[in-house]
Amino acid sequence: MAKSLDEMVSAFRTRDLRATKYPYIWLDALAVKCRENKRVVTVAVVVATGVRVDGLREVLSLDVITSEDRAGWTTFLQDRTSRGSSGVRLAISDAHPGLTDSTATVLPGASWQRCRTHFMRNVLTRVPKSQQDFVASMVRTIFSQHTAGTVEAQYTHVADQLEGLSSETAQMLDDAKADILSCARFPKVRWRQIWPNHPQERLNGEIRRRTDVVGIFPNRSVLVGLVGAVLAEQSDERAVGRRYLSLESMDQIEPKPVPVPTRKSQKAVKYRLPSLHERMETRGGSGGVTPIDRT
| DSSP characters over 102-147 | HHHHHSTT-EEEE-HHHHHHHHHTTS-GGGHHHHHHHHHGGGG-SS
pLDDT score of 281: 54
pLDDT score of 270: 43
pLDDT score of 1: 55
pLDDT score of 231: 94
Q: Which helix (H) or strand (E) holds 44?
A: strand 39-51
Q: Is 270 exposed, middle or buried (0-12, 13-18, 19+ CB in 10 A)?
A: exposed
pLDDT score of 292: 45
| Domain layout of the chain by residue ranges | 1-115+197-282, 116-182
pLDDT score of 188: 78
Asked if the 1-115+197-282 domain carries CATH number 3.30.420.10, the reply is yes
Residue 197, number of CB atoms within 10 A of its CB = 22
| DSSP characters over 211-256 | HHHH-EESSHHHHHHHHHHHHHHHHHHHHSS--SS-HHHHHTTSPP
Which positions of the chain have pLDDT values less than 70?
1-2, 248-249, 251-295
pLDDT score of 143: 87
pLDDT score of 291: 45
pLDDT tens digits, 81-91: 899 988 899 99
pLDDT score of 249: 65
pLDDT score of 238: 80
The half-sphere exposure of 55 on its side-chain side, counting CA atoms within 13 A, is 15
pLDDT score of 46: 94
pLDDT score of 267: 42
pTM of the model: 0.77
pLDDT score of 127: 87
